[in-house]
């Protein structure tokens, strides 16, 4: 079984409910175990003007291959009406594979570790909730990356707030 970390984000159609639904589907998947989830954070968007995001991270255990897991995550996004029309635009749900064991993958469909996670506080802050000492394939820890990353505008929230 592989240990996988994913990022979750939403800024449309009741973002907390979107994350709740995605986590429920993940926990019911026959080949995915939901091991842990981070706190949730309200974070400013990157890109065009739009509502703030609600972001979180989750640790999974799975026997799915990286591409099969990507397909499963994209299917969940589709179930929740994800539309990919504007780059870095608003979305009902965004599920990204951050780390898959200690794999390094660079393909047309998938890059692991996630290519921009080291510069994104909205990814690293929730990931640090799960394991600040988690080491990436580069040897750097989440805590080390977070120390060099802006956390401006990132506010811990609770699932009842919309």
Q: What is the dihedral of CA 151, 153, 156, 157, to 10 degrees?
A: -160
d(CA 135, CA 72): 25
Peptide bond into 34 cis (omega under 30): no
Decide: 123 and 85 in contact? Cβ < 8 Å.
Answer: no
96 is catalytic: yes
CA–CA–CA angle 113, 18, 50 (5° rounding) = 80
82 is catalytic: yes
94 is catalytic: yes
Catalytic residue among 13, 52, 82, 131: 82
Catalytically active residues, by annotation: 82, 91, 94, 96
């Amino acid at each position: 079984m592989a240990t996988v970390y994913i990022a979750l984000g939403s800024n449309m159609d009741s973002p907390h409910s979107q994350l709740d639904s995605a986590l429920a589907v993940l926990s019911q998947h026959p080949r995915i175990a939901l091991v842990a989830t981070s706190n949730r954070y309200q974070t400013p968007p990157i890109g065009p003007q739009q509502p703030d995001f609600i972001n979180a991270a989750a640790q999974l255990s799975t026997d799915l291959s990286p591409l099969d897991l990507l397909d499963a995550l994209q299917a969940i996004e589709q179930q929740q009406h994800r539309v990919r029309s504007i780059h870095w635009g608003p979305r009902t749900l965004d599920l990204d594979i951050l780390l898959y064991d200690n794999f390094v993958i660079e393909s047309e469909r998938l890059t692991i570790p996630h290519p921009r996670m080291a510069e994104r506080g909205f990814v690293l802050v929730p990931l640090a909730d799960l394991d600040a000492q988690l080491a990436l394939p580069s040897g750097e820890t989440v805590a080390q990356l977070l120390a060099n990353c802006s956390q401006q505008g990132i506010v811990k929230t609770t699932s009842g707030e919309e």
